[in-house]
Structure 1
Amino acid sequence: MEDLVSETALIKLSRLVALRRELDAVANNVANVETTGFKAKRVRFQEYLAPVERAEITSKPERPVSLVAADAGFTDFSKGAPQVTGSPLDVAIDGDAFFVVQTPAGERYTRNGAFTLDSAGRLVTMAGDPVLTTTGPLALSPQEGEARIGADGVISTRQGPRGRLRLVRFEAPQNLQAHGGNLFRSDQPPRELAAGSVRLFQGALEKSNVQATLEMSRLVEINRAYQLVSSLLKEDGDLDELKRLAEF
């Protein structure tokens, strides 16, 4: 019976760890439901057979234990709903592309087109990072008047065209790594997009693609499952067994 309890404890513990990872991912999604351009994080689950070698865990060392694991997860890059803001420096992308932002850590990529001008007249994100055009950062003077951003990404003022927003695409966006709420980084160079490859909308933003109602329901379900497995571990005395094994 002691051997059986040990195997059961390991199975429950693996489930608990997987649930915790999913709970963290869903909670992060809910926290960013209002973050412009945010992409929901998902967790994959997979079964794996863990060989058990200690006699204290099982009397049959050759028999593997079936456990559940949550892998590193992935980002859902489906498009969020557009939101009209009327701000001339807000831009939404209609298509598969990312804006390029220059940060102290290097180039980062985002779907968040909420831009503004800093005290030096540079086009920047709300965090103050320069937004890149095809020729680098762009600075506008107050005398140029209000900027207009065309569907092709060309930025124009009373002085005429002043630059074109740099837009890029990734062949495998699932390999992008999150860097903050709505920024991503890549170990591979992106593909530069020509004018007209995607369409931009001035005066609009792409909202988070998190579906709040579904995520909140999932959050409740995961919490219940987590509490259930935790209580089973305590009731069956498996926590004491796991502590004993950890000290072995």
Structure 2
Amino acid sequence: MADAFSIAIQSMQNDMQRMDIISENVANSATPGYRRALSTNQSFGDVLQSSSLSNVTHSIEITLPTVTSVLDTASGSIKSTSQPLDLAISGDGYFELTTPDGLAYTRAGNFHINEDGHLVSQDGYPVSGKGGDIIVNGKSTPTITPSGEVSDGSTAVGQIRIVSFADKHGLQTRSGGLLVSTNNDAETSDSSAQLQIGFLENANVIPLNEMVSMLETSRHFESQQKLFQGYDEQISSAIQKLGQF
């Protein structure tokens, strides 16, 4: 396949991946605690460095890099809900949840007590405490302090664990806005961040900015289509002229 075709196809595939990332951000713009993904790829210098030169008689073979996503770790705005089990983290850190696929992390603190007395997330995943799951036995709503201590009446039942990562960009977004670590050996530590009770963190997505990025990506995709079609027409024309001889 000609190089121009290869470049156009890879570029259009990259645009489709960017569009998927942008669409996910827009879809979660109202999800509490959601942190948007940013599309990224290698710089031109990195591409040249990774390209191979087999010998001096051959040209350098350059492959366009694929698009990957990284997490935007900027905090979202805080809104008041006045709900005693709605929590927002002030500072760096994430709530830790136990899911069927392993540990996951979130900034969304819209918690509730399930029928078994466990403190769980909106999707029903248990919230990790420093000593395990947090279980409430009483009928009344538990109280939570800014340091994360949970009390059932006058009885302390646990402390919510807030973790931080040495490599914040090693986290990636999964379904439901949950975050997972791409590195199984990622170092975590207990965060000293405080909680705001009766508040939730909004997504750090600005829909208008995402729509502008979507428009730019769409225009770039269209330009690559024109490049592909133009090059195809040139080859067809060349073949026809050769056939006349």
TM-score tier, shorter chain, comes to 0.7 to 0.9
Which secondary structure does the structure 2 equivalent of 1:185 belong to? strand
- Counterpart-to-counterpart distance in 1, 2:103 and 2:221: 39
Deviations, residues 201-232 of structure 1 (Å, cap 9, x unaligned) = 01111111111110111101111211221133
Q: Which residue of 1 aligns with 2:243?
A: none
- Separation in 1 of the partners of 2:57 and 2:2? 13
In 1, Cα distance between equivalents of 2:53 and 2:186: 43
1:91 corresponds in structure 2 to 87
Aligned to 1:205: 200
Distance 1:218 1:137, change over 3 A: same
Task: Tell whether 2:214 aligns with 1:219.
Answer: yes
Map of 1:192 onto structure 2: 189
Give the structure 2 partner of residue 166 of structure 1. 161
Unaligned runs of 5+ in 1: 54-59, 242-248
8 Å contact from structure 2 (residues 41, 68) kept in 1:
no
* Cα distance change on mapping 1:61 and 1:216 into 2, 3 Å: farther
Of 87, 102, 110, 2:106 maps to: 110
Contact 1:18/1:68 (CA < 8 Å) preserved in 2? no
- Paired position in structure 2 for 1:141: 137
How large is the Cα RMSD of the aligned pairs?
2.6
CA pair 240-112 structure 1, distance change in 2 beyond 3 A: farther
* Mapped pair 1:233 → 2:233: no
The question of whether the paired residues in 1 share the 8 Å contact of 2:173 and 2:179 is answered with yes
* 1:183 shift after superposition: 1.7
Rounded to whole Å, the distance in 1 between the matches of 2:152 and 2:200 is 21
CA distance in 2, matches of 1:154, 1:234: 63
Deviation at 1:189?
A: 5.1
Cα distance change of structure 1 residues 240 and 42 upon mapping to structure 2, 3 Å threshold = farther
Deviates more, 1:63-72 or 1:202-211: 63-72
Structure 2: gaps spanning 5 or more residues: 237-245
Q: Could you tell me how far 1:158 is from its partner in structure 2?
A: 1.8
**Other structure's SS at 2:96 match:** strand
Q: Distance in 2 between matches of 1:123 and 1:27?
A: 31
Output the TM-score relative to the length of structure 2: 0.83
**Structure 1 residue identity aligned to 2:206:** Q
Assess, with a 3 A threshold, how the Cα gap between structure 1 residues 212 and 39 changes in structure 2: closer, same or farther: same
Percent sequence identity is 26
Q: TM-score, normalization: structure 1?
A: 0.82
Preserved CA contact (<8 Å) 2:165 2:189: no
Is the 1:233–1:239 contact (alpha carbons within 8 Å) kept by the matching residues of 2? no
Name the counterpart of 2:241. Answer: none
